[in-house]
Chain A
């Protein structure tokens, strides 16, 4: 069999994630500390797990409707209104429950893209947007956000990227990996560029609950933007439910209808047990969110201070659970830094360029870790920097 010929050209040509080798290596080090993985370190709160278990004891093990349980979709609408002023989504026609936020991103891109359509993707950002856009026949257009703008997307940057072929803008804020957020004013500027165009916004708000000091604002809550935005959210980050694989999208009926059609053929429905657990999360989980956010907040301040004390430039990340220190002063590339640090001190971080070329010169550190581990990791990073200075 000639597999080169067999495989889809588009799929085969997508570059693999360069991170795998780090984590394979990491697994061989028992004393390793990882600030690498983008995952909460909390267990899913017990009352949520218990609701999932209870649904199993009741025998709720069948498919649900394609778009998800009625009760869950109603709760999603209440939640969006309660927490982000996104009022009045119709659960029946404007929401869909998906397998993680990731599936919602996939569905939205597939539902929107015609061959050759351009999708603007601010970078550094989560790794999935460009590959999925390509698989859907689209052309991803990377826009580099800048440290001096606190890694926000500016109206000028957006304007410069728009062409007659632009179909959609991915808006990934609060941002993985930079921790950047878009405030109301920042979003107004973006909305100002988009209103009156045919460009649609895929707003990936998976980290919406994790902002520190300032409440997350959804672009869909701005005047005239709801009709041109699909809001994507999920349970993984807010409720520490990564393994449950559950997310959702809320947006205009015609888009949700097509997304649901793709979902119906490709996925059928999101996992039933997870959906029951998610109803409990949305009904009784606000306090869990606050407690986790408070804790992340302490760790955020702590890791920022430690990085700055080490003399690394680190902008004040206000969202998600990442900091994105600049390592240019070491004279190393992001990958060299991450690799040498792992070999020398057994600390895993992710090179910034894994999230787009504009991430070069930075590393992503996840602070969803205990203060003890953050402390130990930063001690080791300090030692690593010292040794390098001495060698020079």
Chain B
């Protein structure tokens, strides 16, 4: 059911009974369908979007462009696997264009991230070069704006 996925992608906290009402079906059907989607790994997990800037926790995110020297018979897969196993790596994508792998690293400080790149990422066999870009400010993520305070708007209450 594509609709369940669309609704959950936008708001994972919708209850089965809410989903059932919205889709015009019953709770049992929704529960079964979600179970199936989880078993098939179509639904991989449920997460919360957090603006850490508004908390005391220090978080820095960096995008590392990685160029890879493909190994004979291994392609990019082996290198990617060696990289994404690190806990510090939040996301990893194979890219077209000027570099090969985009690695998203989350750490407490820039130093911590830089150290990770120097000591863990760069030495991985097959990594030819890295370029680290720190994220300075997030405006939007997964379709959600970070600045959510709408400006006060004078409006009329019309029928």
A: residues with CB less than 8 A from B are 17, 19, 23, 26, 34, 36-39, 126-127, 176, 298-299, 301-302, 305-306, 350, 354-355, 371, 375
Contact = CB atoms under 8 A, between A and B. Distances in A.
Nearest to A19: B159
A298 B159 contact: no
A37 B11 CA distance: 25
A17 B22 contact: no
Nearest to B10: A295
Contact of B18 (A26, A127, A355, A375): A375
A3 to B, nearest CB: 25
A301 B23 CA distance: 7
A302 B158 contact: no
Interface of B: 7, 11, 14, 18, 21-24, 157-159
Contact of B159 (A127, A299, A302, A305): A127
Contact of A37 (B14, B18, B24, B158): B158
B157 A36 contact: yes
A126 B22 contact: no
A305 B18 CA distance: 10
Nearest to A348: B157
22 contacts: A17-B159, A19-B159, A36-B157, A37-B157, A37-B159, A38-B158, A38-B159, A39-B158, A127-B159, A176-B159, A298-B22, A301-B21, A301-B22, A301-B24, A302-B18, A302-B21, A306-B21, A350-B159, A354-B159, A371-B11, A371-B14, A375-B18
A126 B159 contact: yes
Contacts of B157: 19, 23, 26, 34, 36-37
A306 B24 CA distance: 12
Contacts of B23: 298, 301
Contacts of A26: 157
- Max count, chain B CB within 10 A of own CB: residue among A37, A127, A299, A350: A37
A299 B21 CA distance: 9
A298 B7 contact: yes
Given A298-B7, A371-B14, A305 B21 contact: yes
A26 B23 CA distance: 32
Nearest to A128: B159
A104 B21 CA distance: 38
Nearest to B150: A43
A126 B159 CA distance: 8
A38 B18 CA distance: 24
- Max count, chain B CB within 10 A of own CB: residue among A127, A176, A298, A305: A298
Contacts of B7: 298
Nearest to A17: B159
Contacts of B24: 301
Contacts of A355: 159
B1 to A, nearest CB: 13
B145 to A, nearest CB: 11
Contacts of B14: 371
A299 B22 contact: yes
A302 B11 CA distance: 15
